[in-house]
Amino acid sequence: METVKAIGDFLTGLGAPVMLPIVIFILGVILGQKVSRAFISAITVGVGFIGLGLVITLLFQALGPATDALVKATGIQLTSLDVGWGVAAAIAFGTTVGALVIPLAFGLNIIMLLFKWTKTLNVDMWNFWHYAFTGSLVYLVSGNNLLLGLIAATIHAAVALLIADWTAKDVQEFFKIPGVSIPQGWAITSVPIIKILNWIMEKIPGLRDIHWDSESLEKRLGIFGQPIVMGAILGLLFGLIAYGFDTRVLTLAVQMAAVMLLIPRIIAIFMEGLTPLSEAARAFMQKRFSDREFYIGLDSAILIGHPITIAAGIILIPVTLFLAAILPGNTTLPAADLAATAFFVAMVPPLTRGNLFRSILYGTIIMIVVLYISSSFAPLMTEIAKSIGYAIPEGAVQITGLSGGNWIAWVLTNITKLFFGG
């Protein structure tokens, strides 16, 4: 235990932009990457981290005061600003659990493959942030118990592999992509919800027979599908409500557009660093398990192009804003993740044989769950962000992320609070 704590303290002391590259370098070399290649990858990830830090500061400075003003102007208690998956991931990878999550989840995956407990080889290392997020929350609520944090991240990663196996056939047949499964940390948490809703729906005469497969909506989407336009419009909307007719509204619109464009661009740098490692991991495993059937676990991003997913994702933007305003007890102000609403229903079409009606209905129910969970995570996420050095403006505003709203993290955090909370 003492050693674990000592290692944890040392890594935390180094800070994310240093410790994550070190871990990635070591793992790359172990997996047989050339030292020069592993070094470039590692530094690239560090650079991505520093870039994210810069944009996150811009985001907080722009949106923090606006959220404050919005709350004061309207009296609605939406004090937890949704900072989006890019920021949530940066925070999750930025903790000690986050630094260790890549070798941890990969090691777990190898063990589970060896014992034939899973068929999925998860090469989607970027999305390990979801496991890190769960682990980081548990680490915090257990009073900085690194071992519990790592166990929580491991549980999330293991459940992800099992659910990926469970849905693999449906995903492969529906999207016609053989040999692939989806262990993405948030997507897998939607699967039991969808299965339960399917079971209920089949019991309701009338409702169970509704099947929409409209493909017309996304073609009318036009420029609104562009994150930069969505950012500007959201900025205008928030600004008008928060400040009334004031030049700050226009500033906010451009700042919000900047955030929507810049965060993804910088995450791409991060990805550039991670890609060779995930390639090395895949090659390493394919060489050793060549005689076995296994699925390559990929990002749910590969499912987002389906017309029904796109259509349901668009409809969910106003639905989510409306829900946030009317749900009693919700404190989450949906913002940055509104550009990613399609992710919240990515698993619905393959599990409902492409039913748009159910995608919208289930999506609405899923968003209610997500809003409540992300509201309950806001104080924790804000504290973690502060602890790893992000300057969050003082005031009533907290940060959260819709993409962090997964029930596995919620259940594990609450169990930890019950037994280990100080």
Q: 168-191 burial string, b = 16+ CB within 10 Å, else e?
A: bebbbebbeeeebbbbbbbbbbbb
**Cβ proximity to other proteins, 69 vs 164, nearer residue:** 164
Min dist. Cβ of residue 376 to other proteins (A): 26
CB 338 within 8 A of CB 321: yes
267 binds other proteins (CB under 8 A): yes
- Which one of residues 144, 198, 226, 387 is an interface residue with other proteins (CB under 8 A)? 226
Give, as ranges, the residues between 313 and 342 that touch other proteins (CB under 8 A): 340, 342
40 binds other proteins (CB under 8 A): no
Written as one letter, the residue type at 9 is: D
**Cβ proximity to other proteins, 151 vs 338, nearer residue:** 338
Q: Which range binds other proteins by CB under 8 A, 28-36, 105-113, 291-299, 372-380?
A: 291-299
**Cβ proximity to other proteins, 74 vs 286, nearer residue:** 286
Q: Which range binds other proteins by CB under 8 A, 9-17, 19-27, 222-230, 389-397?
A: 222-230
**Cβ proximity to other proteins, 142 vs 300, nearer residue:** 300
Rounded-to-integer distance, Cα 306 and Cα 297, Å: 19
343 binds other proteins (CB under 8 A): yes
CA nearest to 128, candidates 108, 153, 150, 146: 153
- Which one of residues 180, 236, 240, 254 is an interface residue with other proteins (CB under 8 A)? 180
**Cβ proximity to other proteins, 247 vs 290, nearer residue:** 290
Min dist. Cβ of residue 332 to other proteins (A): 21
Tracing tokens 């257990």 back to the chain, one arrives at: 142
Neighbours of 314 (CB within 10 A): 18
Neighbours of 298 (CB within 10 A): 23
Element (H, E) at 181: strand 180-181
Element (H, E) at 400: strand 398-400
Contacts of 413 (CB under 8 A, 6+ apart): 134, 137, 138, 141, 152, 377, 380
**Cβ proximity to other proteins, 53 vs 264, nearer residue:** 264
Residue 178 DSSP label: T
- Which one of residues 283, 368, 369, 411 is an interface residue with other proteins (CB under 8 A)? 283
Beta bridge partners of 81: 333, 399
- By CB under 8 A, the count of residues binding other proteins is 44
**DSSP states along 191-238:** HHHHHHHHHHHTTSTTGGG-------GGGG-GGGGSHHHHHHHHHHHH
Tracing tokens 């502060």 back to the chain, one arrives at: 386
How many helices and strands (H and E) does the chain possess?
14, 6
**Cβ proximity to other proteins, 60 vs 129, nearer residue:** 129
214 binds other proteins (CB under 8 A): no
**Cβ proximity to other proteins, 294 vs 377, nearer residue:** 294
Strand 80-82 and strand 120-122: the pairing is: unpaired
**Cβ proximity to other proteins, 14 vs 40, nearer residue:** 40
Instruction: Pull the structure tokens for residue 285.
Output: 């495993």
Assign 115 to helix, strand or coil.
coil
- Which one of residues 50, 196, 210, 221 is an interface residue with other proteins (CB under 8 A)? 221
Rounded-to-integer distance, Cα 229 and Cα 235, Å: 10
Instruction: Pull the structure tokens for residue 134.
Output: 């769960």
282 binds other proteins (CB under 8 A): yes
126 binds other proteins (CB under 8 A): yes
9 binds other proteins (CB under 8 A): no
- Which one of residues 218, 344, 372, 380 is an interface residue with other proteins (CB under 8 A)? 218
Min dist. Cβ of residue 133 to other proteins (A): 16
CA nearest to 13, candidates 412, 389, 395: 389
- Which one of residues 5, 169, 219, 220 is an interface residue with other proteins (CB under 8 A)? 219
Min dist. Cβ of residue 93 to other proteins (A): 14
- Which one of residues 279, 317, 368, 415 is an interface residue with other proteins (CB under 8 A)? 279
Min dist. Cβ of residue 399 to other proteins (A): 21
Binding site for other proteins (CB under 8 A): 123-124, 126-127, 175, 177-180, 215, 218-219, 221, 225-227, 264, 267-268, 271-272, 275-276, 278-279, 282-283, 286, 296, 298-307, 310, 340, 342-343, 346
